Amino acid sequence: MSQLVRVGVQIYDLANSVWLDEAGVQERFGVRPHQIPDLLALNGDAVDNIPGVPGVGPKTACQILAVCYGIEDLAGNGHHLQSLQFRSRDRVLRHIRENIEAVRMSRTLATIRCDAPLDITPDTVRYRRGDRSQLSPLCEELGFLNLLEEIPLAHRSLF
């Protein structure tokens, strides 16, 4: 979600209980928010099944993205890449260039689309307290017994 951060948009890092703005994303991940999909394309993401580039870990991906805007800069023979200092640099850069289409696909998979057409309004996605009596049969059928315990009992108004 960090790729969505921009001026006026922050995200809450639940694990560390902090709000992240652009500077916070850069400090946490080592890249600017708009580079998060490029970072995931290079490094990979096991949770989302994004393969990444063999030999590129998070530190190497951050070093690469520190000297270029994104993976498109890697497709050519930019002189700025010669300043990179990491083991097997030439082999890694060659591998990226030889597999640039796969890297582009990985970036596409890692990119959150903000232009998807949606037929919803903010009111249709407004949080409404779950009704345990209606959810109980479904949770039991699906084996979500722990989830059922987290759903608060519906409080009926006396008025």
Q: Which amino acid would we find at residue 76? A: G
Both 75 and 146 in one domain: the answer is no
Same domain, 13 and 55: yes
- Shared domain for 11 and 89, answered yes or no, is yes
Residue 104 within a domain: yes
Whole-angstrom distance, CA of residue 155 vs CA of residue 61: 50
Q: Do the domain assignments include residue 93?
A: yes
Q: Which two tokens stand for residue 38?
A: 């490029």
pLDDT of 145? 80
Domain assignment present for residue 124? The answer is no
- The answer to whether residue 94 is domain-embedded is yes
Tell me, yes or no, whether 80 and 135 share the same domain: no
> Same domain for 29 and 77?
yes
- How high is the pLDDT of residue 153? 61
In a domain, 118, yes or no: no
User: What is the domain extent for residue 20?
Assistant: 2-110
**Does pTM surpass 0.75?**
no
Q: How do residues 72-93 score in pLDDT, each as one tens digit? A: 887 765 667 777 777 788 888 8
What CATH number is given to the structural domain containing 25?
A: 1.10.150.20
Quick one: pLDDT at residue 110?
96
Provide the pLDDT for residue 157: 43
CB 39 within 8 A of CB 62: yes
Residues of the chain with pLDDT under 50: 156-159
Query: How far is 107 from 117, CA to CA, in rounded Å?
Result: 21
pLDDT (tens digit, 9 = 90+) per residue, 110-121? Answer: 999 999 898 888
Residue 121 located in a structural domain:
no
CB 119 within 8 A of CB 111: no
55 shares a domain with 94: yes
Looking at residue 159, what is its pLDDT?
36
| Per-residue confidence (pLDDT) for residue 156, from 0 to 100 | 47
What pLDDT, on the 0 to 100 scale, is given for residue 126? Answer: 81
Please state the domain count of the chain. 2
